[in-house]
Amino acid sequence: IEIYSLHVDCKVTSRFAHTVITSRIVNRANESREATFEVEIPKTAFITNFSMSMDGEVYPGIIKEKAAAQKEYDRAASQGQSAGLVKITDRKLEQFHVSVSVAAASKVTFELTYEELLKRQLGKYELLIKVQPKQLVKHFQIDVHIFEPQGIHFLETDSTFMTNELTEALTKVQNETKAHILFKPTLDQQKKNSELDETLLNGDFVVRYDVKREATAGDIQIVNGYFVHYFAPQEMPVLPKNVIFVIDRSGSMTGRKIEQTRDALLKILQDLRPEDHFGFITFNNKVVEWKRSLLPATEENVASAAALVQTLTARGGTDINGALLAAVGVLDKAEQLPERSVSMIILLTDGQPTSGERSVEIIQENVQKAINGKYALFCLGFGFDVSYKFLEKMALSNGGIARRIYENADAALQLQGFYQEVATPVLMQIEMQYPENSVEGLTKNNFKLFFKGSEITVSGKISNKLDLLPVEIKAQSHTSNLTLKEEANVKEKEQVFQNQRYIFGNFIERLWAYLTIQQLLEEAISAQEEDQKALDAQALDLSLRYSFVTPLTSMVVTKPQQQEELANKPTEAG
């Protein structure tokens, strides 16, 4: 079985990435063999299309509601067909895997399409392409086309498998608003060494970039009556933060996990700003407050906290409820905090609640009541013994986010990386306002916090009659209350994309659908049961209308001989 051609074609238009992977395989044996198409795609992406072509026949993947697809699949499975096609493989990727029997001397073409909105983190967008052909490929090619009407500020490529020879196969052409990256290694360049037919191509191929930003009220782009508004203000003073670290030191954290936690905390302490206030709570079945109150991040206090961190050891149970309520208590009692400052709790745990209150529903209720919208709660789940669903619901109900920390060698870096994302809040209470009577289907437009290096994205549909789209942004910065205004000329904005040859026509409409689905699914996590049903129903409707494989839909892949397989989107909560 030989993969004679593998092409990854990725078009990024205004942060929205549309990627098509095409693999052509021939069976050179004189009997039928199994051909496998196995690719890893970003977790944040939605698959939108898949097909297999053999002997002049095309076998498309059809996207259906999950329950309906499952029924159909169970019927097929009872006749001995095989299992699901997608599984999570690491913290950024999930794997799509399908195999089919190919007759002697026959060919098969697999084609997979997926889409995602690139998210700005720490000042850059990242496009990740996993390269793993597992054999030498005669025609191997990666094409990345980027078009950013705001202008490209910087662009870099990075790869975990590059050698000097392979660098020669990489070209980059760039002007003000466009870039084309081509990676096309010959068979010889792909080889580990000239004697062996082993491939060097195994790992990540990453493109990172950022755009130019001039307008203070962000940038608006419009195509076919849909708009997207990007807002990432530059040069803003940092808001002081009051942060409490709530660290699990129960028995299951023993060994490597507690060491990695210590390493990360020592680095994080060094990153605190002098105007920040901080506190530490450690917990097993007992909850221990390092100091009764929040302390300013002076050199002396940071050194004293570092000494405590050095002595962290793990044993005992897990009283998550007691620890979080103690943290809220410290923030409630805090005095002399800067008037405009951001208060947050960062919880790190690796297990289920086993001491104190054990019911996750009651803990969620207690914590939400205590926080009462005043502070943001970030929950980090270390490893796979945590109830991620519980942590995610708790974080999202309290203005924060949850993240899983994978038990790898780089766990300390994952922890630090997460902290860096939330370390520099620059705006609070951001409201993005649009004319009510002429904009519909608006995505989320109120945000509690904006962190330096990230970006706020709002999208919606404009009514036909509008010539000018006025926007107004209200927010609180460290020094003042801001009001920013901007007017977008609809016709002019539509012009920008008219003559771009590699734009998939309705890309802002698809971006709007992608963003709406992501937000509905997130909202459903912390909603009451009745609301949850309504949110899921809306997300399902959009997933089917725009054919996205989301956690609510499945793709039914029918093979020759009427075999059926299912592709489902896995979630971090499992």
Specify the CATH number for the domain of residue 394: 3.40.50.410
User: CA–CA distance from 51 to each of 108, 140, 303, 536, 562 (Å)?
Assistant: 10, 20, 59, 27, 14
Whether residues 399 and 547 share a domain: the answer is: no
> What would the pLDDT profile of 181-193 be if each residue is shown by its tens digit?
999 999 999 998 8
* Statement to judge: residues 462 and 363 lie in one domain: no
The predicted model gives 5-25 an average pLDDT of 96
Residues 290 and 394 in one domain: yes
409: exposed, middle or buried (Cβ count in 10 Å: 0-12, 13-18, 19+): exposed
b/e sequence 263-285, b meaning 16+ C-beta within 10 Å: bbbbebbeebeeebbbbbbbbbe
Category of 202 on φ-ψ map: left (φ > 0), alpha (ψ -120 to 50) or beta: beta
Of 381, 406, 423, which residue sits at a domain end?
423
Tell me: do 381 and 463 sit in the same domain: no
List the one residue out of 574, 558, 549, 550 whose CA is nearest residue 82.
558
Per-residue burial over 47-61, b if 16 or more Cβ lie within 10 Å, else e, is bbbbebebeeeebeb
Across 422-433, average pLDDT: 96
Residue among 345, 348, 402, 355 at smallest CA distance from 375: 345
Average pLDDT, integer, range 265-276: 95
Average pLDDT of the segment spanning 254-273: 94
139 lies in some domain: no
Task: Please indicate, yes or no, if residue 430 is contained in any of the structural domains.
Answer: no
Q: Determine contact, residues 402/379, Cβ cutoff 8 Å.
A: yes
Q: Which residues, at least 6 apart from 204, have a Cβ–Cβ distance to it below 8 Å?
A: 128, 129, 130, 131, 158, 159, 160
Residues 269 and 334 in one domain: yes
In the chain, pLDDT over 90 holds for what percent of residues? 80
Q: Which of 423, 438, 471 is the last residue of a domain?
A: 423
Structure-block tokens of residue 358: 């054990």
The whole-number pLDDT of residue 276 equals 96
Whether 476 is in a domain gets the answer: yes
Q: Let me know whether 305 and 333 are in one domain.
A: yes
Other Cβ atoms less than 10 A from the Cβ of 202: the count is 14
Q: Is residue 354 domain-resident?
A: yes
Residue with tokens 């916090």: 449
Confidence of residue 80 (pLDDT cuts 50, 70, 90): very low
Q: Return d(Cα 252, Cα 247) in angstroms, integer.
A: 13
pLDDT at 500: 64
| Domain with 482 in it | 219-235+452-551
Nearest to 141 by CA among 7, 325, 331: 7
Residue closest to 245 by CA, chosen among 165, 387, 344: 344
Residue 463 has pLDDT above 90, yes or no: no
Q: Are residues 308 and 231 in the same domain?
A: no
Could you give the CA distance from residue 550 to residue 44 in angstroms, rounded to a whole number? Answer: 10
Q: DSSP for 319-355?
A: -HHHHHHHHHHHHHH--S--SS-EEEEEEEE-S---S
C-alpha 392/C-alpha 402 separation (Å) is 5
Higher pLDDT pick, 71 / 500 = 71
pLDDT of residue 82: 46
315 domain-assigned: yes
Number of folded domains that form the chain: 2
In this predicted structure, the answer to whether residue 79 has a pLDDT above a threshold of 90 is: no
- 223 assigned to some structural domain: yes
Average pLDDT over residues 415-421: 94
Structure confidence at residue 83 as a pLDDT band (50, 70, 90):
very low
Q: Are residues 226 and 251 in the same domain?
A: no
| Bridge partners, residue 281, by sequence | 246, 289
Helix (H) or strand (E) holding 48: strand 46-54
Reduce the DSSP state of residue 167 to 3 states and report it.
Answer: helix
Helices (H) and strands (E) in the chain, counts: 12, 31
Is 73's pLDDT higher than 70?
yes
| pLDDT band, residue 72 (cuts 50/70/90) | confident
Statement to judge: residues 417 and 457 lie in one domain = no
pLDDT digits (tens, 9 = 90+) for 37-46: 999 999 999 9
Q: Could you tell me if 349 and 462 lie in one domain? A: no
For residue 382, tell me if it sits in a domain: yes
Cβ atoms of 128 and 144 closer than 8 Å: no
- On the question of pLDDT at 81 being above 60, the answer is no
What pLDDT was estimated at residue 88?
A: 76
Digit-coded pLDDT (tens) for 496-553: 887 665 555 689 999 999 999 999 999 999 998 999 999 999 999 999 999 999 999 9
**Extended strands (E) in 103-202:** 107-117, 125-131, 139-147, 152-159, 170-174, 178-183
- Quick one: tokens of 389? 């669903």
Arithmetic mean of pLDDT over the chain:
92
What does the pLDDT read at residue 229? 97
Confidence class for position 339, pLDDT limits 50, 70, 90: confident
pLDDT tier for residue 84 given thresholds of 50, 70 and 90: low
Residue 418, pLDDT above cutoff 80: yes
Pair 247, 224 in one domain: no
Cβ pair 450, 212 in contact under 8 A: no
Q: Give tens-digit pLDDT for 351-404.
A: 899 999 999 999 999 999 999 999 999 999 999 999 999 999 999 999 999 999
Identify the three-state secondary structure at position 495.
helix
What's the confidence (pLDDT) of residue 20? 97
DSSP-based three-state secondary structure for 362: helix
Residue 569 has pLDDT above 80, yes or no: yes
Q: What is the pLDDT of residue 409?
A: 87
Q: What's the pTM?
A: 0.94
Is residue 74 included in any domain, yes or no? no
- From residue 36, give the alpha-carbon distance in Å to each of 19, 199, 302, 447: 20, 17, 54, 44
Instruction: Based on the fold, state whether residues 537 and 456 are members of the same structural domain.
Output: yes
User: How much is the pLDDT for 13?
Assistant: 94
Q: If you compute the radius of gyration of the chain from its CA atoms, what whole number of angstroms results?
A: 25
